[in-house]
Chains A and B, each alone.
Chain A
Amino acid sequence: MEQEEDLKTRHMVINMGPQHPSTHGVLRLKLELDGETVVKCTPYVGYLHRGTEKLAESMTYLQVIPLTDRLDYISSMTNNIGYCLAVERLFEIEVPLRAKYIRTLVGELSRISSHLLWLATHALDIGAMTVFLYAFRERERILDLFELLTGARLTVTYPRIGGVKSDVNQEFIDTAYAFAEEFPSRVQEYETLIDVNRIWLKRTVGVGILSAEEAINWGLSGATLRGSGVNYDVRKRFPYDAYDLVEFDVPIGKNGDVYDRYLCRVEELRQSVRIIKQCIEALPRGPIMSPDAPKFTLPAKDKVLGDMESLIHHFMLITKGPMTAPKGQLYVAIEAPKGELGYYIVSDGTGKPYRMRIRSPSFVHVSALPRLCEGRLLADVVANIGTIDVVLGECDR
């Protein structure tokens, strides 16, 4: 007995990451453990910091678009859309209806692809390997669609200030519609694998519980917030593009645990398909660029080479940018797949943003990680990282 009293115990500190398969990028967690229980969790971020906000201050509004691709690099379409919306709001540009529908369509495709990657890696972390293979099969088809439309699979740079870069062709529409027809049956496949899987339930039900008040207080957004039963979706609260013209439901969770957030995101896959179908069916004819757009869009290459006006126009846009930016500041947010992606732009009247702040959902979600992990088991850390759905490129900017 005496010997036992002499035994000194101390907490063990382990580093999880930055190179760890289930931290979804270069996230480092310093975990202080008492046996299997996490006593303290300190996240370290910044390994992917590229100074996007500083860079944007030195660029014209047009040049910033490719920078936004590199934030949430698995859903670059929505980043572009969010940025373009903010600038359009600043310049008071009205986007033509066709472009709005196209943006909504590709935005939802992007959401599906992002959610599929989330589902795949989240399930893989918890030990369900087959889901990973299934989800990547469908994700590949979306990336092929993006390649058909934009020429790029990940960093698309497709939306433009005032519209989109190019019109969709019939092949894209047919393929996208065929995909939307087929996809719900695929979702059912994922569900049969894990929905009532005993291991999945053991690892997710009752893990990482957040009450509604707490989730709001932490500033969480997207499905991470809705899993706690808060009805907050930027697409419904501040409708942008064509979201006020299509019908869709916002799934809400009840218990605020990992399993409810899983259910929410899977249901969002179905809702996205609904939106995609409506967009294709209702796609109106018309221009894809706003009539104000020549002030913001580069003229076509063949015109630049043959037409003096276009050459001057091109030159002025590249060197000076649109000169008439109104002075002011505004915050515009969209519902990105991960949550609320906001752009806070301060304009000083020149052609460059004076300050461009990116409010990324991942940054906020990682900050709430200690709240989810502390006092729980080490194995739950992996489930918690998966459930908040983060991409570190967006977190570190």
Chain B
Amino acid sequence: MDAATIAAELKAEFPDEVIDINKFRGQVGVYLKKNRILDIARYLHDTPQYNLDFLKDLCGVDYIDIKVPRFEVAYNLYSIKHGHMLRLNVQVSENNAELDSVVEVWAGANWHERECYDMYGIVFNNHPDLRRILLPEDWEGYPLRKDYPLAGAEEEWRGFKEVLKKAEEFKQYAWNRKKT
């Protein structure tokens, strides 16, 4: 099935949710509001003629100073059976940066959503285990946001200081060392 046809039918099914349909280099992207993303995901996954069962990728994009709403979550979908591809670009605003998780539709979304949360601070509701994934749990800020600096002050991660302090503490024990 042609991706443009799916996009058109999606617009007919969810007229209030689809904002725009974009085509670039043969790939079709559907711009969506975030409210009913779970319904749309399930619809695309379960409808036999679409059967978009393979979540290739899920990632966030930060469009600060370019457009409102600021964030976008991009879902690259593929159907193993039919061989068609579709992208969903879900719009997420900055002051209400949360949307429903699609883990119950595609299990593989689990870590992608965690990474998106880790890097952009976008919260996925009903996610089974929403924690930071690539960065330490006590990291401050969301690095892939455009207003996060590329290089920071020369300051060590404070967890590292704790490690050094621990090492100092341990030095007072003899650890079976032979006394000289």
Decide: B25 and A219 in contact? CB cutoff 8 A.
Answer: no
B144, CB-defined interface residue at 8 Å: yes
Contact across chains for B55 and A219 when beta carbons are under 8 A apart = yes
Is there a chain B Cβ closer than 8 Å to A243's Cβ? no
Asked whether A217 and B57 contact (CB < 8 A) given A58-B150, A89-B25, the answer is: no
B134 pairs with A46, CB closer than 8 A:
yes
B98 at interface, CB cutoff 8 A: no
Partner pick for B143 among A54, A58, A237, CB 8 A cutoff: A54
Nearest residue, chain A, Cβ from B74? A344
**C-alpha spacing A364/B87, complex, angstroms:** 19
Contact partners of A220 in chain B: CB under 8 A: 108
Q: What 0/1 readout, one digit per residue, does chain B (69-82) give for beta carbons within 8 Å of chain A?
A: 00000101000100
Interface residue range, chain B: 35 or more
Chain B residues with Cβ below 8 Å from A63 are none
1/0 per residue, CB under 8 A from A, across B15-33: the answer is: 0000000001101010000
Q: Contacting B111 at CB < 8 Å: which of A330, A342, A367?
A: A367
Whether a CB of chain B sits under 8 angstroms from the CB of A147 is no
Q: A89-B25, A218-B107, A368-B108 are in contact. Are A232 and B80 (CB under 8 A)?
A: yes
Q: Which of A45, A55, A329, A333 contacts B134 (CB 8 A)?
A: A45
Q: Which chain A residues in 372-397 approach chain B with CB under 8 Å?
A: 396-397
Q: A55 contacts which chain B residues (CB < 8 A)?
A: 150
User: Contacts of A328 on B, CB cut-off 8 Å?
Assistant: 24-25
Point out the residues of chain A lying under 8 angstroms from B53, CB to CB: 213, 216-217
Give 7 closest A-B pairs by Cβ, nearest first: A219-B108, A328-B24, A367-B111, A46-B134, A359-B57, A357-B59, A49-B134
20 A-B pairs in the complex with CB atoms less than 8 angstroms apart: A45-B133, A46-B133, A46-B136, A49-B134, A54-B143, A54-B148, A54-B150, A216-B53, A217-B107, A220-B108, A232-B54, A329-B74, A330-B24, A331-B85, A342-B56, A355-B61, A355-B62, A364-B111, A366-B111, A371-B107
Which residues on A are within 8 Å of B, measured CB to CB?
45-46, 49, 51, 53-55, 57-58, 89-90, 92, 213-214, 216-220, 230, 232, 237, 328-331, 333, 340, 342, 344, 346, 348, 354-355, 357, 359, 363-364, 366-368, 371, 396-397
